[in-house]
Amino acid sequence: MTQKLLSRRSALVGLSALASAPAFAQGRFEAAKAYSNARRGISMLVMQRGQLRFEDYQGNGQRFKGWELASGTKSFSGVLAAALVQDGLLKLDEYCADTLTEFWSDRYRSAIRMTDLLHLVSGIDGKGSRNFGDVPTYAEAVTAPSTKATGSQFSYGPVPFQIFGELVRRKLVAAKTGDVDPLAYLTRRLFTPLGIRPIRWQRGSDALPHLPSGAAVTARDWANFGQFVLAGGVHRGKALVDPAALRANFEASSANPGYGLTWWIPRPGMIGPGPRSGVAGEAVSFSGMGRLYMAAGAGNQRLYLLPDQDMVIVRQADGIRETMRRGAGDWSDQTFLSLVLGA
């Protein structure tokens, strides 16, 4: 199929999605699109009750083109953990030192449980000693020291996700699953059944996949993943992950009421990832919108899950590198969602 035909097909799909939404909803979606596009937006997609309601692409955005998620990649790890729980390879309350045995000799690291690691409250500095945005290898990450008691402080950054990657890698090797790394397992267990095909996924100098960043997927694939999570991890009538472990993805720690197991839960008191992130540190009140869960990345890449509206929203944008240098600009999750919902 030629690129011209693909583009025509994409446009027709978008028009069909628009036509399926009520006129009043189309107006809201168009207003949200205009807000997004004015802030480097390249794609926007809305699904409700599992049906595509709105789809639009601008500039570099294309229906079949994957886009970098930046830290939006992080939220795959929580769902990966739920798949591992279902397969009997992991328990959320287990000590990381049961697998990362070098942790046992350390006063603080020996007390870290899996939930502490994925809540980013392990006591390990999330950013480590590297520059902002740099990702350590798995081997480098597991040597990161801990100087604080587990659960005492939220620390956002790539280090805990790379530690999780090494922990998963060791479990897969010990279990002889045939998967060579966490991404191979994630692909076999979830992406392939869901029809998700990452366009690319960055790997480090150790040839292992980056878990805190580096995934690039289409807007539709990201939305389909969100719909799967919103459906409780059930696909075609079959649970692909442990239901209780998936629900735990959206339970916050006492150190940060706005962060679950790798997912943001915007609410008052939320501690954001940093002043340049575009994720509001004050977690503006989303009164009237109901529950909200979010995967978020630099450049204001967003996957929103709104269970009360049975809605999934994807927003992708250009300028990731510039955003990391200068900040998120005037992006507001509350404004965007208010436009989508008419709140």
Pair 83, 194: CB distance under 8 Å: no
The predicted structure's pLDDT at residue 226: 98
Domain contains 7? no
The predicted structure's pLDDT at residue 1: 38
Answer yes or no: is pLDDT of 329 > 80. no
Residue 217's domain spans which residues? 17-341
257-279 pLDDT, tens digit each: 999 999 999 888 888 887 666 67
For the domain that residue 68 is a member of, what is the CATH number? Answer: 3.40.710.10
Domain contains 165? yes
Residue type, 37: N
Total domain count, the chain = 1
Does this model's pTM top 0.95? My answer is: no
Domain contains 6? no
Domain contains 172? yes
pLDDT bin (cut points 50, 70, 90) of residue 321 is low
The share of the chain scoring above pLDDT 70, in percent, equals 84
Domain contains 285? yes
pLDDT bin (cut points 50, 70, 90) of residue 243 is very high
Pair 259, 253: CB distance under 8 Å: yes
Average pLDDT of span 311-334: 77
Backbone angles phi, psi at 72, to 5 degrees: -60, -20
149-171 pLDDT, tens digit each: 999 999 999 999 999 999 999 99
Domain contains 57? yes
Domain contains 43? yes
Domain contains 2? no
The Cα–Cα gap between 241 and 2 comes to: 38
Q: CA-based angle 265:271:272, to the nearest 5? A: 80
Better-scored residue on pLDDT, 104 or 286: 104
Average pLDDT of span 97-119: 97
Average pLDDT, the chain: 88
